[in-house]
Amino acid sequence: MGAIKLNMLYIRFILLVLTLLAPKTIKAQVLETSHKIDTLTTADRLSIRTNAVEWLLLVPNVGFEFDLKNVNYNRLTIGLNLRYNWQTSHTMKPGAIYNIAEIRAEVRNYYRIRLFSNYIERKKKIWDRLVSPRREQSKHPTTTYYRGGFLAYNKFTMKLGDEGHQGTAIIGGVMAGLVRPLYTFRNGHSLDFELGLGVGIAYASYDTFTHDSYLDYYPKTGHKTTIMPVINDLRVGFVYRLGKYPIIKKYRWRYDVDLNYQRAFDDKLLENRRNADVKSFNDSIDAYARKLFWEKYDSIYKQNKASEDSLRRIGQDEKSLQKAAKEARKVEEKAEKVKEKAAKEASKDKKEAVEEPKQEAEEPKPEAEAPKQEGGES
């Protein structure tokens, strides 16, 4: 009974969509090339999305997206996605269960492929080249790409094998994808096709259980807490845009829609390029002048060093000659002193030899005077 009710809900939803779309004429969207800034209404900034993959898994889902700015060069959006197929009723408790209820908030940055120009340098690092929107050529000019992040909270009960899991999870991650325009309807609304993928890290806290088919209940077997990588969103869906402004006119580069911005941007690029050229020229002149200076300086330095070395050698030779002369004078002075000392000693010996006979002749004098002293005493 529960499956029949769910199928009837799907049929009603499809009939409602066909009723809304059938009376209106449709036309293909073409590339927008006008250079003007448009102000978007609230309806122009709002879109509704759904994921066909989750509908195939019997999980009803719907999403809402809103542009942050009301101009056609805005490329940032916020979104809210809901999916729910919780607690479907059954006569007997099933052995396979896939119930989930989730709310997810996301932020997206839309962009289109841009070509390289003479003023834009190609990125050298691999990461910069991967995230850069510039390419050598744009093979799909009507395709709009997006990247962003999300944060989700869900409750789940899943049993696809022998063991089931029931609990909650908080998931955060990144997302990327593309959107291609399909049709624009008579009332201005448009329909787009979307492909995307969202991956992240989940923090899950859940109970484990099994299925007792005999007693028809689910006995609990334990409790676990884990952190693991997950694929949160595999998107093959459709986007219905309200208002009268299709995606082919939105999410454009400001350079393509604002002439004043183009002029200012080009002037800045030209100024930067001119400054770079002047700096390069000055650097080349400075390098050339430095080269000439150092060549001249090196030649002069070598000459001065050679002359200094020759003068140093001459000075060293003069010092050695002066030292030798000084030593020779010391030797001469020492020889003269030795000669003078020898002469003094010789003269002293001669003098002593002459004085010795005089002393021998004078020795009798005291004996002759002795009687004279005795007479005096009598």
The string of pLDDT tens digits covering residues 153-175 is 999 988 888 888 999 999 999 99
Choose among 101, 105, 203, 202: nearest CA to 148. Answer: 105
Residue 78 in contact with residue 106, Cβ under 8 Å?
yes
pTM value surpassing 0.85: no
**Cβ-based neighbour number of residue 206 at 10 Å:** 20
Predicted local distance difference test score (pLDDT) of residue 3: 44
Task: Determine, yes or no, domain membership for 367.
Answer: no
- Answer yes or no: do 37 and 134 share one domain: yes
Which tokens in the block code for residue 40? 């978007």
Task: Determine, yes or no, domain membership for 127.
Answer: yes
Task: Determine, yes or no, domain membership for 324.
Answer: yes
Predicted local distance difference test score (pLDDT) of residue 370: 47
- Examine the pLDDT at 91 and tell me if it is beyond 90: no
Residue 59 in contact with residue 85, Cβ under 8 Å?
yes
**For all residues of the chain together, what is the average pLDDT?**
80
- Examine the pLDDT at 137 and tell me if it is beyond 80: no
Task: Determine, yes or no, domain membership for 368.
Answer: no
- Answer yes or no: do 39 and 135 share one domain: yes
Non-local (6+) Cβ contacts of 318 within 8 A are: none
- Answer yes or no: do 197 and 246 share one domain: yes
Predicted local distance difference test score (pLDDT) of residue 378: 35
Q: How far apart are CA 253 and CA 99, in angstroms?
A: 42
Residue 322 belongs to what domain range?
260-356
Task: Determine, yes or no, domain membership for 323.
Answer: yes
- Examine the pLDDT at 309 and tell me if it is beyond 80: no
3-state helix, strand, coil in the chain (%, to 5): 40, 35, 25
The whole-number average pLDDT for the span 199-210 is 94
pLDDT band at 21 (very low <50, low <70, confident <90, very high): very low
- Answer yes or no: do 212 and 265 share one domain: no
Predicted local distance difference test score (pLDDT) of residue 286: 77
Predicted local distance difference test score (pLDDT) of residue 51: 96
Residue 219 in contact with residue 195, Cβ under 8 Å?
no
Task: Determine, yes or no, domain membership for 377.
Answer: no
In 299-329, which positions are buried (b, 16+ CB within 10 angstroms) versus exposed (e)?
Answer: eeeeeeeeeeeeeeeeeeeeeeeeeeeeeee
- Alpha-carbon torsion, ordered 9, 12, 14, 19, to 10 deg: -160
**Cβ-based neighbour number of residue 50 at 10 Å:** 20
Percent with pLDDT over 90 in the chain: 35
Domain ends where: 257, 290, 309? 257
Task: Determine, yes or no, domain membership for 369.
Answer: no
Report how many domains make up the chain.
2
- Answer yes or no: do 300 and 170 share one domain: no
- Answer yes or no: do 241 and 130 share one domain: yes
Task: Determine, yes or no, domain membership for 373.
Answer: no
- Answer yes or no: do 272 and 248 share one domain: no
